[in-house]
Amino acid sequence: MTVDQATLTVTKLGAHIGAQVDGVRLGGALDAATVATIRRALNEHKVIFFRGQDHLTEDGQHEFAQLLGSPTTPHPTVKSQGVKSLAIDSENGRANSWHTDVTFVDRIPKASILRAEYLPTYGGSTTWASTVAAYNSLPEPLKLLADNLRAVHTNVYDYAAKNVEPLRPKSEQYRAEFQSTYFETEHPVVRVHPETGERALLLGHFVKNFVGLSTSESQALFRLFQDRVTRLENTTRWTWADGDVAIWDNRATQHYAIDDYDDQPRRLTRITLAGDIPVGVDGQPSKPLQGNAEHYSIIAAAADLTHLSESLA
């Protein structure tokens, strides 16, 4: 399907992150020029939003995802929430803490595509933060420190330990499945984006500790750097409507689903795209410590990333 490039618009939503794309009907039949425009917008704005995509089904979402990369399986450990996509359902819990998707494996997804299925009548928005802008805002001494740090990420680290509210039965079941296979991966705290060359902080709620530092030292440094990520100037907030689709660069963002809709149902579907192994400023890649993610995703080949970069030029 050919899109008139004259009617396709990309409207910037903030200085550091976010844009709305209009004039395109998402699906698997989009022409190459439109796909290239979407890729350029994603690299520049980190998260992009599309209104009025009510026609899109799970199959259509998957077909569109294939134009942007290689879809992963829905999740490394959660098998009960879909075959092509992962159901983000409020009945299973609420991701109301800052995170980058699936950082507990070595092959972190390069992007996520999220489609609204049903929404609460109020609340339930999502906020994204630019981890590139966060890194760029650091004073030089902190950049130098971050450049030389590595952190361990795991899917069983209790980032919600301070939450004293008991989990609902379905949330307990979901968490048990989420933690059913143990993963632990060491990542650079600063990764170099394979397409743009930008540096981004690689943190979020899966971080267990910084390599070589004590628990108290790790917590202090985590707060120091994580607070830079979540500064309001580095964020954009999206109020969902029926038919909305969001795509974000998972190598350059964190996000937070806001839990302000009481007991109303909220369900979206997510497809993630295969990424590469993160590489630090020193050229050293991430390394798995426990768990094998081969069943979850391929590793995006360097040739594929080079092709993408050329298409974005």
Strand order in the sheet with 253-257: 235-238, 126-130, 253-257
Residue 171 covered by a domain: yes
Domain that holds residue 282: 72-300
Is residue 295 among the annotated active site residues?
no
Give the global pTM.
0.91
Q: Is 70 helix (H, G, I), strand (E, B) or coil?
A: coil
Which tens digits make up the pLDDT trace of 230-262? 999 999 999 999 999 999 999 999 999 999 999
Is residue 175 among the annotated active site residues?
no
Which of these, 243, 218, 277, lies nearest to 51 by C-alpha position? Answer: 243
The Cα 220–Cα 164 span in angstroms is 22
Which CATH number characterizes residue 253's domain?
3.60.130.10
**Which one of 193, 251, 266, 270 is the catalytic residue?**
270
Residue 42 covered by a domain: no
Which tens digits make up the pLDDT trace of 132-186? 999 999 999 999 999 999 999 999 865 444 444 555 666 677 677 777 789 999 9
Residue 235 covered by a domain: yes
- 8 Å CB contact between 128 and 46: yes
- Give Cα 34 distance to the centre of its chain: 22
Residue 282 covered by a domain: yes
Residue 310 covered by a domain: no
Q: Which two tokens stand for residue 16?
A: 């550091």
For the chain, state the CA radius of gyration. Answer: 19
Q: Is 23 helix (H, G, I), strand (E, B) or coil?
A: coil
- Give Cα 175 distance to the centre of its chain: 19
**Which one of 16, 75, 89, 101 is the catalytic residue?**
101
Is residue 255 among the annotated active site residues?
yes
Q: State which amino acid sits at residue 283.
A: G
The Cα 223–Cα 219 span in angstroms is 6
What is the number of domains present in the chain? 1
Is residue 168 among the annotated active site residues?
no
Q: Which two tokens stand for residue 68?
A: 């942007």
290 pLDDT higher than 90:
yes
Q: Pairing relation of β-strands 111-118 and 245-249?
A: antiparallel
Please work out, in degrees rounded to the nearest 5, the angle formed at the alpha carbon of residue 120 by the alpha carbons of 92 and 273.
55
**Which one of 107, 115, 187, 255 is the catalytic residue?**
255
Residue 280 covered by a domain: yes
Residue 23 covered by a domain: no
The Cα 60–Cα 27 span in angstroms is 5
107, 125, 188, 301 from 306: Cα distances, Å: 17, 34, 22, 9
Which region among 102-111, 174-183, 300-309 has the lowest average model confidence (pLDDT)? 300-309
Residue 22 covered by a domain: no
**Which one of 99, 187, 191, 228 is the catalytic residue?**
99
